[in-house]
Amino acid sequence: MTKKMITNRVAFLDKKVPLYASILGIAGVLIVWEIICSLHIVSPLFLPAPTAIVTTGWDMLLSGEIVKNLVPSLYRIGVGYLIGSVVGIVVGLLLGFSKWADAIGTPIVYSIYPIPKIALLPLFVLWLGIGELSKVTIISLGVFFPVVINTYSGVKNVDPILIKAAVTFGSNHLNVIRKVILPGSLPMIFAGLKLAAGTSLLLLVAAEMIAAQSGIGSMVLHYGNLMITTKLMVGVLVLSLLGLAFNRFLQWVENRLLPWK
Amino acid sequence: MRIVIDNVGKKFKKSKKEETTALEDINFTIHEKEFVVLVGPSGCGKSTLLNIVGGLLSPSSGSIYFEDMEDEKREPTVSIVFQEIALFPWRTVYQNVIYGLEEKKMSKQDQMEKGNYYIDMVGLSEFKHAYPKQLSGGMKQRVGIGRALAVEPDLLLMDEPFSALDAQTRTLMQEELLTIWNRTQLSTLYVTHNIEEAVYLADRVIVLSRHPGRIKEIIPIDLPKMGRGDAQYRAQFDDYAEQIWQLIRQDAVDALKE
Ligand SMILES: Nc1ncnc2c1ncn2[C@@H]1O[C@H](COP(=O)(O)OP(=O)(O)O)[C@@H](O)[C@H]1O
Ligand SMILES: [Mg+2]
pLDDT tens-digit map of B153-211: 999 999 999 988 888 888 888 988 999 999 889 999 999 989 999 999 999 999 998 88
Q: Report which DSSP code applies to A236.
A: H
Test B56 with A180 for CB contact under 8 angstroms.
Answer: no
Contact B56 A184 (CB under 8 A): no
Alpha carbon distance B53, B63 (integer Å): 9
Q: Is B241 exposed, middle or buried (CB count within 10 Å of its CB: 0-12, 13-18, 19+)?
A: middle
* Burial status of residue B166 (CB atoms within 10 A of its CB: 0-12, 13-18, 19 or more): exposed
Report how far residue A195's alpha carbon sits from residue A212's, in angstroms, rounded to the nearest whole number: 25
Cβ-defined contact of B131 to A260 (cutoff 8 Å): yes
Q: How far is CA B103 from CA A10, A187, B106, B132, B181, in A?
A: 52, 25, 8, 20, 24
**Which residues, listed in sequence order, are joined to residue B207 by a DSSP beta bridge?**
B39, B217
Q: What is the pLDDT along chain A (261 residues), one digit of tens a residue?
A: 788 889 888 888 888 888 888 889 889 999 999 999 888 888 888 889 999 999 999 999 999 999 999 999 999 999 999 999 999 999 999 999 888 999 999 999 999 999 998 889 889 989 998 888 999 999 999 999 999 999 999 999 999 999 999 999 999 988 999 999 999 999 999 999 999 999 999 999 999 998 778 999 999 999 999 999 999 999 999 999 999 999 999 999 999 999 888
Read off the DSSP letter of residue B209: P
Residue B63's pLDDT band (cuts 50, 70, 90): very high
Taking phi first (over 0 means left), then psi (-120 to 50 degrees means alpha), and beta for anything else, what does residue B218 get?
beta
Give A164→chain B minimum CA distance, Å: 7
The pLDDT of residue B55 is 93
| Integer Cα distance of B221 and B228 in angstroms | 10
Name every chain B residue with its beta carbon within 8 A of the beta carbon of A173: none
| Nearest C-alpha in A relative to B129 | A260
Q: What is the pLDDT of residues B95-105, one digit of tens each?
A: 999 999 999 99
Strand B155-159 vs strand B78-81: parallel, antiparallel, or unpaired? Answer: parallel
Q: pLDDT at position B92, please?
A: 96
At B130 the pLDDT is: 95
Ligand 1 neighbour B47 (Cβ under 6 A) = yes
Distance from the alpha carbon of residue B46 to the mean position of ligand 1, in angstroms: 8
Does ipTM exceed 0.85? Answer: yes
Specify which residues B208 forms β-bridges with: B215
Nearest beta carbon to residue B56 from set A159, A168, A170: A168
Task: Report CB contact under 8 Å: A170, B104.
Answer: yes
Q: Radius of gyration of chain B from Cα atoms? A: 19
DSSP H helix total and E strand total for chain B: 8, 9
Global pTM value: 0.84
What b/e sequence results for A110-133 when a residue is b if at least 16 CB atoms lie within 10 Å of its CB, and e otherwise? Answer: eeeeeeebbebbeebbeeeeeeee
* Strand order, beta sheet including B78-81: B78-81, B155-159, B188-192, B35-39, B204-208, B215-220
Whole-number Cα distances in Å, A213 to A39, A216, A223, B7: 37, 10, 13, 78
CA distances (Å), B33 to each of A158, A169, B3, B71, B158, in order? Answer: 36, 21, 11, 17, 15
Task: Return the pLDDT at B68.
Answer: 86
CA of B97 to the centre of ligand 2 (A): 24
The pLDDT value given to residue B143: 96
- Cα(B95)–Cα(B127) distance, rounded to whole angstroms? 12
pLDDT at residue A187, as a whole number: 94
Average pLDDT, chain B: 91
Q: Say how many Å lie between the CA of residue B90 and the centre of ligand 2.
A: 26
Look at A258 and B90 and tell me if their CB atoms are within 8 Å: yes
Pick among A164, A168, A175, A254 to test the B interface (most B CBs inside 10 A): A168
Instruction: Give the pLDDT score at A16.
Output: 85
Share of chain B above pLDDT 90, in %: 64
Question: Does ligand 1 have an atom closer than 6 angstroms to the CB of B44?
Answer: yes
- The nearest CA of chain A is from the CA of B99 a distance in Å of 7
Q: Half-sphere exposure of residue A164, counting CA atoms within 13 Å on the CB side?
A: 18
Q: Which of B13, B47, B48 to mutate to test the pocket of ligand 1 (most atoms within 8 A of CB)?
A: B48
**What Å distances lie between residue A226 and A51, A60, A219, B14, B230, CA to CA?**
21, 16, 11, 72, 93
* Runs of H (alpha helix) within A113-172: 121-128, 132-156, 160-168
Backbone angles phi, psi at A137, to 5 degrees: -60, -45
Q: What pLDDT is recorded for position B17?
A: 84
Distance between CA atoms of B14 and B9, rounded to whole angstroms?
Answer: 16
Q: What is the pLDDT of residues B35-55, one digit of tens each?
A: 999 998 888 889 999 999 999
Chain center to CA of B1:
19
Q: Which CATH number fits domain A61-257: 1.10.275.10, 3.40.50.300, 1.10.3720.10, 2.60.40.10?
A: 1.10.3720.10
**What single letter denotes the amino acid at residue A99?**
K
Q: What Cα–Cα distance (Å) separates residue B66 from each residue in B72, B154, B155, B187, B191?
A: 10, 9, 10, 12, 20
Q: Within a 10 A sphere around the Cβ of B67, how many other Cβ atoms?
A: 9
Instruction: Please name the residues in contact with A127: beta carbons below 8 A apart, sequence gap of 6 or more.
Output: A134
CB contact at 8 A, A109 and A149? yes
Distances (CA, A) of A130 to A121, A141, A210, A237, B50: 10, 17, 10, 27, 64
Distance (angstroms) between ligand 1 centre and the Cα of B58 equals 14
User: How is residue B213 annotated by DSSP?
Assistant: B
Per-residue model confidence as pLDDT tens digits over B207-248: 998 888 889 999 999 888 888 888 888 888 899 999 999 888
Distance of CA A245 to the CA centre of its chain: 10
